[in-house]
Amino acid sequence: MRMIKLQLSLLLLPVLLLTGCSKDDLTQGQKSLEGEWSVNMILTDYGVDGAGNPIFKRETGALGSLTFSQNQVNYFFTRNDTVYSGDGEWDLHVEKVNSGFTKANKWTLVIANDFIFDVIFDDETSNSEKDANAMEFTEYENVNGNYFHMELDKK
């Protein structure tokens, strides 16, 4: 009987480790998001031209900032000579998705009902959302796969 309990425990341990507690991850992600972030790169993908060549624009430098408080965000950045600015509530979501033989966090950020970004914290490794100093935001604009991608560093 003791051997069966041990074997059952050994079988359940990997399942518990793989599923993790996403509430703790979400709390870490929310805390990490709070503060001022500088936008230092924006890549806009416009799809392909008639010859199949990619059409994109890469912008670098001091392109703007996003400042997150506990439940409010203030943003100001320039993309393709257009200024985007505003403020409002933000909401961060996390879900576990299949990633090879394990599950990984998939982060989504809604900013003031103006943007819905896929988010990558730091290097996207386990617990990279904890005390992150870099983030990547990607928003897919239409079904053709056109998107814009933003890289940010914590100030």
Domain spans, the chain? 20-154
In the structure encoding, which two tokens stand for residue 81, read together? 């000579």
Name which of 38-42, 68-72, 121-125 the model is least confident about.
121-125
**C-alpha to C-alpha distances, 118 to 15, 34, 111, 113, 147, nearest whole angstrom:** 26, 17, 11, 14, 11
Q: CB–CB of 39/56 below 8 Å? A: no
Fold of 20-154: Lipocalin (2.40.128)
Alpha helix (H) ranges present in the chain?
2-19, 22-33
**Which of 39, 56, 51 lies closest to 111 in space, CA to CA?**
39
**Which of 74, 73, 77, 111 lies closest to 92 in space, CA to CA?**
111
> Which pTM value belongs to this model?
0.79
Q: What is the pLDDT of residues 60-107, one digit of tens each?
A: 999 999 999 999 999 999 999 999 999 999 999 999 999 888 888 999
The confidence score (pLDDT) of residue 21 equals 44
H/E element, 35: strand 35-48
